[in-house]
Amino acid sequence: FRLNLLVSSAMGWTGTSLAAFAGPCIAFVVAIAAFSSAFEGDFVFDDTYAIVQNADANPASPWWSIWRNDFWGFALASEYSHKSYRPLTILSFRVQVYLADGRLDEQTAAAMHWVNVI
């Protein structure tokens, strides 16, 4: 307890700011624990449609298509689209696939799961 007070006062933290820092740290640890089983393995469930089969997540496709298509890669005007518009999510997938040199293997899936949990 004394060490905590000493560190808190030396760093200029008050009880309020220490609590404000502790909350996000606890949430981070809980998130990591809850999703720890997803950190190893391949693309599963909707990953296949949202990342592997979605041309917008592939850096080889035109980058502007993420602004015209839904989350699943269908044109927003299409009858197949359910109008789930999340371009920043698809952009993050696209950047991650680019950083993996376009590989969509288990290693890439694990890295993407880590990034998306964090």
Burial class (CB in 10 A: 0-12, 13-18, 19+), 94: buried
pLDDT band with cut points at 50, 70 and 90 for residue 105: very high
pLDDT band with cut points at 50, 70 and 90 for residue 96: very high
Mean pLDDT, rounded, for 72-85: 92
Per-residue pLDDT for 5 more than 70? no
What residues contact residue 1 under an 8 Å CB cut-off, 6+ apart? Answer: none
Mean pLDDT, rounded, for 86-91: 95
pLDDT band with cut points at 50, 70 and 90 for residue 39: confident
- Rounded distance, CA 25 to CA 20, Å? 9
Per-residue pLDDT for 1 more than 50? no
